[in-house]
Amino acid sequence: MFSDNKSLWDAFALPEDSPVYRRIGPLHLWLWRKSDELWVTHLNSNDEADLECPDEDADWRRWALRNGDHSAKLNPMLPNKSIVVKPEYDIHLLRNSKVRTYTRVPISVDIQVIGETTSSITEIPTQVLSNTWFGSFINGELCYWLATSARRSMPLDLIQPNHAVCIMDIRNQSDDDLKMDRICLRVERLSLFMQDGYLWADDTEITYEGEDGTAQIKNDGLAPYEVKDAVKLTEPRQPHKRGLAERAFFLFRDSGE
């Protein structure tokens, strides 16, 4: 099954006579070249079966192509906003302890047309994530919301084609125990790697020093040690910043009433 996933991210021709169909987890995607235009539509459905034809009332979007734009490529991308990860059960981290957790993050698909040059035309999430607010009522940032079981290991059979595995190494160097009920994962700073058809992001190292939810966050931009030979597919949306001190743990104390 996963040998097919490797080819998901390869370039493919855009014939004129019929639409090209791709399924990435719950995302069903159709691309159709009609003379000098590219028509794109998609459907998010948990239906396991392939849907060779889109609905008659599908909502198509159109792009005017350049001469020679006769092939396309899908590129996996991590979401365009940080993700607040909510573990199924709170994790308590004792002083001077460390934990390595694995989270499956639904990716987005960047559609690129290939001619003399390659151009991105649109990005479609494979799964529509809810939004959440990370911060106070006055300041903060809009993030995606993801409930997770924050596993301590990641069996390969749990990874779907639309998932990227994000790994967090969390270290508590404060004088108190750390209750992790929500963690902000800065996915826009992560690269994507592929090995055997599975997508992995580079490690996020979070060191909590007891500063009111802020922590030192590091990304090394290298494939995690579980998949040392993985090939880099995508660069991070934002460049790496070494030793960045940012809020990583949730501190929403006000109930809003």
Partner 1 sequence: MDLGFINDFISPDRFERLVIALVFLSIALPIVYFVRGRVRKVVTKRHSEHYGMLAAKILHYVLMMIVIVIFLTELGLSLTPLLGAAGVLGVAIGFASQTSVSNIISGFFLIAERPFSVGDVIQVGQTVGVVLSIDTLSAKLRTFDNRFVRIPNETLVKSEVINLTKFPIRRVEVNVSVAYKEDLKRVREILMDIAESNPLALQEPAPLINFSQFGASSVDLFFLVWTNKENFIQLKNELNEEVKHRFDKAGVEIPFPQMVLHRDD
Interface contacts to partner 1, rule CB under 8 A: 84, 86, 128-134, 137-140, 142, 145, 182, 250, 252, 254-257
Residues 6+ apart with CB under 8 A from 72: 11, 12, 14, 20, 31, 38, 111, 112, 113, 114
For residues 117 and 255, which CB has a smaller minimum distance to partner 1 in the complex? 255
Residues in the chain, how many? 257
Sign of the CA dihedral with 44 first, then 89, 76, and 239 last = positive
Sign of the CA dihedral with 224 first, then 150, 82, and 25 last = positive
Minimum CB–partner distance for residue 138 and partner 1 (Å) = 6
Minimum CB–partner distance for residue 126 and partner 1 (Å) = 14
For residues 105 and 159, which CB has a smaller minimum distance to partner 1 in the complex? 105
Minimum CB–partner distance for residue 184 and partner 1 (Å) = 11
For residues 132 and 219, which CB has a smaller minimum distance to partner 1 in the complex? 132
For residues 53 and 142, which CB has a smaller minimum distance to partner 1 in the complex? 142
Distance, CA of 156 to CA of 146 (rounded, Å)? 20
For residues 57 and 254, which CB has a smaller minimum distance to partner 1 in the complex? 254
Minimum CB–partner distance for residue 135 and partner 1 (Å) = 8
Minimum CB–partner distance for residue 129 and partner 1 (Å) = 7
